[in-house]
Amino acid sequence: MTLSDGNSQRSNRRMTAIVCHGPEDYRVAQVERPVPGEREMVLRIASCGICASDCKCWSGAAMFWGGDNPYVKPPVIPGHEFYGHVDELGSGAAEHFGVRIGDRVIAEQIVPCDQCRFCRTGKYWMCEVHNIFGFQRVVADGGMAEYMRIPRTARVHKIDEGIPADDAAIIEPLSCAIHTVNRGDIQLDDVVVIAGSGPIGLMMVQVAKLKTPKLLIVIDMIDERLQLAKSFGADVIINPREQDALAVVRSVTDGYGCDVYIEATGSPTGVEQGLNLIRKLGRFVEFSVFGAPATVDWSIIGDRKELDIRGAHLGPYCYPIAINLLSRGLVTSKGIVTHRYRLDEWDRAIAVANSLDSIKVLMEARSGKG
């Protein structure tokens, strides 16, 4: 038996969605609306952000499409930066997720298997099966649609009603930013460099500032984004087209280099830059998804500097923190969310998202309100 509100009892079970068929082959289509199974629910999507990984997937990056068994399994509805309202509840779903019809909720981007060694030990974000919404249909499609099915093993969180719509739309990337900054283990006397002031980089700036490091430095090649980073709390901003980043960082660290370097550029050059800027025994946090391999002098890590290299993947256990920070006004989407498009404007939306004319682009299934 399915519990539902009046809207969900309509005879028309079709919906508008973006469907990925292959690199640069994403189509606006009418597809069947999802139906919740036992302990599953269906969301009415409010908005879904276009992530840098979505852009790389659209453009055909090898990490998504390479090899004999590509990670992406088309046809699939993309989108993992979504949130929405509970529209339908399958049998037992209300108790399972702790939600009711109409609740505003978000599901984490990974759908854990709950069976592998990582899931069983609480490290679900490193699930061996590793299904992410929007890339495979093994578990469920993504959020670039009017409606979306949430499977039973999803991690679901309620969103405070007082949080503005644009702020609610950045909960997923903000959670990633929080996890990355936490991996840096920032101390009060640290000089921190964040390389890359894209959407998540700008959220990292806001979160890192809450850690009150001695000095927060942001590097990017777009002056407008650097100015936004400064408004979010960056003490020093560097455009490497115009300034010698190594000279600037050394000048404010007695020649030693930064204590923590967070790589969020998505460019292999950001890795090499970090290895040069960071001091001996420093902490290097790698977050980016790369479209091409990064080639560096690996001996810097061990023989020369004995660095602590840390990866950062997804936003485990950080969604409640993100929601709390937004509800308290300590982090904001203002200046980060720059464009909003309807689903039927996909071609225009991906072109803008894949350019330097935007920071964060949202796809809005309906009015975009909520």
Instruction: Write the CA distances from 329 to 161, 185, 324, 325, 364, integer angstroms.
Output: 14, 23, 9, 6, 23
174-311 and 3-170+333-364 share a CATH fold: no
The average pLDDT across 258-272 equals: 96
The model's confidence at residue 138, banded by pLDDT at 50, 70 and 90, is confident
Query: Directed axis angle between helix 171-183 and helix 319-327, to 10°?
Result: 110
Q: Which fold has domain 174-311?
A: Rossmann fold (3.40.50)
Q: Which two tokens stand for residue 208?
A: 């890192």
User: From CA 56, how far away is CA 60, in angstroms rounded?
Assistant: 6
Residue with tokens 């990056």: 61
Q: What is the pLDDT of residue 96?
A: 98
User: Average pLDDT of 318-336?
Assistant: 98
pTM of the model: 0.94
In which region does residue 235 sit, left (phi positive, over 0), alpha (psi from -120 to 50) or beta (all else)?
Answer: alpha
Mean pLDDT along residues 267-292: 94
- Domain residue spans of the chain: 3-170+333-364, 174-311
What pLDDT, on a 0 to 100 scale, did the predictor assign at position 289?
84
pLDDT one-digit tens code per residue, 166-179: 999 999 999 999 99
Please choose, from the candidates 122, 169, 184, 127, the residue with its C-alpha nearest in 3D space to the C-alpha of residue 317. Answer: 122
According to the 3-state scheme, what is the secondary structure of 1-29?
CCEECHHHHCCCCEEEEEEEEECCEEEEE
* Cα angle for residues 123, 133, 146 (degrees, 5° grid): 140
Sorting pLDDT into bands at 50, 70 and 90, what band is 125? very high
In this prediction, residue 370 carries a pLDDT of 47
Residues 36-67 pLDDT 10s: 999 999 999 999 999 999 999 999 988 899 99
- We find that the CATH architecture of domain 3-170+333-364 is Alpha-Beta Complex (3.90)
* pLDDT beyond 60 at 139: yes
The number of angstroms, rounded, from the C-alpha of 146 to the middle of its chain's C-alpha atoms is 20
Q: Minimal CA–CA distance to 36: which of 4, 11, 5? A: 4
Tell me: pLDDT of 316 over 70: yes
Position 232 pLDDT exceeds 80: yes
In whole numbers, what is the pLDDT of the chain averaged over residues?
A: 94
Can you tell me the mean pLDDT for 314-339?
98
Q: Is the pLDDT of residue 5 over 60?
A: no
> Which of 311, 241, 240, 252 is CA-nearest to residue 279?
252
* Residue 118: how many other CB atoms lie within 10 Å: 17
Instruction: Look up residue 145 and give its DSSP letter.
Output: B
Structure tokens at 291: 């479209």
